[in-house]
Amino acid sequence: GGGEVGKEIECGNILSEFKTTKVLSDSAREKNIFIHGKLADQDAVIILEKTPIREDTLAELFTGSTLKLEMKNDIYSTYRLQAPPQLNEIKTTVVCPATEKHIKKYQRQESFLVEETGADYQSITLPYIQKQSFSVQWVYNILEKKAEADRIVFEDPDPTVGFLLLPDFKWDQKQIDDLYLIAITLQRGIRSLRDLTQEHLPLLQNIFQKGKEAILQRYQLPASKLRVYLHYQPSYYHLHVHFTKLGYEAPGCGVERAHLLADVIQNLQSDPEYYKTRTLYFPLRVDDGLLSKYKEAGRL
Amino acid sequence: GGGEVGKEIECGNILSEFKTTKVLSDSAREKNIFIHGKLADQDAVIILEKTPIREDTLAELFTGSTLKLEMKNDIYSTYRLQAPPQLNEIKTTVVCPATEKHIKKYQRQESFLVEETGADYQSITLPYIQKQSFSVQWVYNILEKKAEADRIVFEDPDPTVGFLLLPDFKWDQKQIDDLYLIAITLQRGIRSLRDLTQEHLPLLQNIFQKGKEAILQRYQLPASKLRVYLHYQPSYYHLHVHFTKLGYEAPGCGVERAHLLADVIQNLQSDPEYYKTRTLYFPLRVDDGLLSKYKEAGRL
């Protein structure tokens, strides 16, 4: 009723006050844009991304839109189609107040591939992570059901092998094509792949098995249509696993950053020290503080 | 004047008459969709693709749109933004009448992730590869300089560890942004990752080292800007290595198909049987004969 209308009006006001400082990055391929600016004197980052075209709205789109002819040549013609706004929404994410770190995160940057030995991790990467003490309060809010509780798709409450499964922010959940869920471990203190040993096999196997089952049950998507992996480096240092639909080229699913959970499990089974001793490769952006550390160490 | 208005009305009519037969393919990432259907009893293909977000329309977009709140957690909130239609157009291409070839061209093939144990390789995959006897004559033509000799970027003629480095067909060599080269081993008979053992380490290390050096010399691109990997399954069964620019999301660089050469070398160094014994995961398209073999074996 009135409350909802009020909320919508209030939301509308939020963006009309926004003053753009700088476009941080954009992608013509993905139809998104990352903007730094001010919202009522606070630094903010706004992310706009056009939404995928949904098959179930095509009929309405075809009848309810207007077409402007652009070009006609033989059997080919092109048009600009103007659709009813509710059939053509733009997914909008607001980070406010945004810190310097957020702004840097979304700034388009060149990347370099870093080679990190087990010793490099101990002497360069780990001290850097510890000194930064990146906040994972928002993860704890989720684990404690203080936020996003209504978004939980599956929960295993076991304190050792348990996890929550939620849609990733990037997924609008309107279609299965770009399905993207994250499993977040209840256990705290496992920072990344580098911390994993054989003692974590039950946790990893539990996430792999129950995550796949939950996705089959909720979205009717079988394991053979899933890409299940970890990132190294992760974007936050609380262990989490990515579930994306095979065929959807999710950002960060490239071989230089993603590690299949099935491979991680096999590697730990055959060598408990695999992720302590291996040289791992990952891309770092020019403005990443960790890259400076590798440069200082003469490693790049 | 009147003519233009008339044209727009006529155009609007075109799509409202369209009857969808089938969605041929779509991309949630690129926000496009390819649809087969009928336009006035003729076969037609319609391609819709959302347009990139333009920096010069942002101010108008922010003031002229309505926002619907979806989620709020700490400093993060997400909304659905409904924009004025003229600021959020959809590029529309019509092919009419469309032939069978057009329809096939735009038809997406679904993929399934296959789990191949070492035993599966011996009992299912290897017999299939051998029976198909996929021709690699075109590779031999390159190695014997009967074809593409003028495209060779670097050559190491050693019969055991030697290789040729050439631009991949997909790369037009017009810009470095999407650099893509292939190193093809002179040694014949190494079908894929599955054939590799410790005896191939000198070959792999030679390709890795000299390939990177040749690319630095020819394109001024250092190793820290390269993604160097093998495919499994490969598209042809003669050992070759992919060199692509980091940051360019080359087709097939996803974690489900690509294996970093640096990881392959490390894995063979610590376990000579690594690629004989491991379970490997890879996507196969619905129309791939190998997928049928896995289905017959009850593995999917």
% of residues, chain B, pLDDT over 90: 75
Question: B112 and A224 in contact by Cβ < 8 A?
Answer: yes
SS3 content of chain B, % helix, strand, coil (to 5): 40, 30, 35
What do you get for the CA distance between the two ends of chain B, in Å? Answer: 61
pLDDT of residue B1: 31
Rounded average pLDDT over B63-78: 92
The pLDDT of residue B127 is above 80 = yes
Give B1 or B16, the one with higher predicted confidence. B16
The first and second tokens of residue A112, run together, are 């370099």
Confidence band (pLDDT; 50, 70, 90) for B4? very low
Q: What is the mean pLDDT of residues B38-57?
A: 94
Sheet containing A66-73, strands listed edge to edge, beginning at the edge strand earlier in sequence? A66-73, A76-82, B90-95, B42-50, B32-39, B19-27
Average pLDDT of chain B, as a whole number: 91
**Does B246 sit within 8 Å of A111, measured CB to CB?**
yes
A80 chain-B contacts, CB cut-off 8 A: 89-92
3-class SS at B102?
helix
Are A94 and B86 within 8 A, CB to CB?
A: no
What's residue A7's pLDDT? 42
CA of A47 vs chain B CAs: smallest distance (Å): 9
Cβ of B75 within 8 Å of Cβ of A65? The answer is no
B27–A contact, CB cutoff 8 A: yes
Task: Provide, as residue numbers in chain B, all residues whose Cβ is less than 8 Å from the Cβ of A223.
Answer: 113
On chain A, the residues whose CB falls within 8 A of the CB of B20 are 58-59
pLDDT computed for residue A110 by the predictor? 85
The reported pLDDT for the residue numbered A13 is 65
| A158 at interface of B, judged by CB pairs closer than 8 A | no
- For chain A, strand residue ranges (E) read 19-27, 32-39, 42-50, 66-73, 76-82, 90-95, 111-116, 154-156, 163-167, 180-185, 226-231, 240-245, 258-260, 280-285
Residues B239-285 have pLDDT tens digits of: 999 999 998 888 899 999 999 999 999 999 999 999 999 999 999 98
The enclosing H or E element of A140 equals helix A137-143
Mutate to test the interface with B, among A30, A33, A36, A53 (most CBs of B within 10 A): A53
In this model, does residue B6 exceed pLDDT 50? no
Contacts of A6 in chain B (CB under 8 A): none
| pLDDT band, residue B106 (cuts 50/70/90) | confident
Q: Does A152 touch chain B (CB under 8 A)?
A: no
Its ipTM equals 0.77
Considering only CB atoms, which chain A residues are within 8 Å of B258? 254-255
Per the CB < 8 Å rule, is A246 touching B81? no
Candidate from A91, A141, A256 with C-beta closest to B80: A91
C-beta atoms of A89 and B71 within 8 A? no
Contact A249 B249 (CB under 8 A): yes
Higher pLDDT, B30 or B198: B198
Band (B19; pLDDT cuts 50, 70, 90): very high
Pick from A146, A213, A140: which is nearest to A181 by CA?
A213
Please state, in angstroms and rounded to a whole number, the distance separating the CA atoms of residues B124 and B296: 10
State residue B13's pLDDT score: 65
Which residue in A174, A88, A49, A79 sits closest to B47, CA to CA? A79
Radius of gyration of chain A (CA): 22
Residue A224 to residue B86, Cβ atoms within 8 A: no
Q: What parts of chain A have a pLDDT lower than 50?
A: 1-11
- The model's pLDDT over A64-115, given as tens digits with 9 standing for 90+, comes to 999 999 888 888 888 999 999 999 999 999 999 999 988 988 988 789 999 9
Catalytic residues of A: 240
Task: Report which residue type is found at A145.
Answer: K
Domains for chain A: give ranges and CATH numbers: 1-50+90-108 (3.30.200.40), 52-88 (3.30.200.40), 110-296 (3.30.428.10)
The tens digit of pLDDT for each residue in B72-95 reads 889 999 999 999 999 999 999 999
Give contacts of B 62-91 with A, CB under 8 A. Answer: 62-63, 65-69, 71, 73-86, 88-91
